[in-house]
Amino acid sequence: PLQYIIGEQAFFGRSFAVRPGVLIPRPETEILVEQTLRHAGRLWPDTAALDVLDIGTGSGAIALTLAAERPRWRVTTVDLSPTALAIARENAQRLQVEYRVRFLEGDLAQPLLAAGEQVDLLVSNPPYIPSDEVERLEEEVNRFEPRLALDGGADGLVCYRRICAVLPRLIRPTALVAFEVGIHQAGAVRQLLLASGAVERTEIVPDLAGIERVVLGWRKSN
């Protein structure tokens, strides 16, 4: 991919280092960031110092953009890949947000659950391609981008199930959850969010091609 050759990719008006070992940030993921900022503005004042978790951070495009856009937010990133975390740290230095971002190596939310921590806002663009479809992706994707960041299990929903299952332990009484999803997955992910009992309302947002791309769930304490 050209982005690996030149070593960078633009995302949300900023330049991110990308190399083999991280997914190349896509334009549709900017919608996830936009909607996260929009809905957070409805739940909390702009001056709120929120604890934010990005699961499966990759290059750090989502987490570091949120940190740059909202300087009062405390951002934690988690990734299973040490290579990805190294690149995300590099990008944090590039954007000068490294002192407000914590990098944890681990499996989905497990590092925070083990520490008994909770967050106000959870955002994730997890692997969501069904396993048997990964090999059918265009060649520059399936040959060069990390399978760890693509393969979402038999139906593509494994990570969503695991994250939603622990939401009651992970998020605070007022909280926002924001996911990017694959084609035809939005309805199923919305149901997982509602079934968790951790959110009260949901919204599905399409991308510019009309594909339902972002699923949000939230609750607000009285």
Query: What is the pLDDT at residue 3?
Result: 86
Q: For 101-158, write each residue's pLDDT tens digit.
A: 999 999 999 999 999 999 999 999 997 676 666 566 565 555 555 555 555 566 879 8
Average pLDDT over residues 29-43: 97
Query: What is the pLDDT at residue 68?
Result: 97
CA distance 27 to 116: 34
Three-state DSSP state, 130: coil
H-helix segments, the chain: 2-6, 27-43, 61-69, 82-95, 110-115, 131-134, 139-142, 158-170, 186-195
Query: What is the pLDDT at residue 105?
Result: 96
Note whether 124 and 152 are within 8 A (CB).
Answer: no
Backbone angles phi, psi at 7, to 5 degrees: 85, 15
Query: What is the pLDDT at residue 2?
Result: 82
Band of pLDDT at residue 89, cut at 50, 70 and 90: very high
H-helix segments, 55-149: 61-69, 82-95, 110-115, 131-134, 139-142
Average pLDDT over residues 187-201: 97
Query: What is the pLDDT at residue 127?
Result: 79
Query: What is the pLDDT at residue 148?
Result: 55
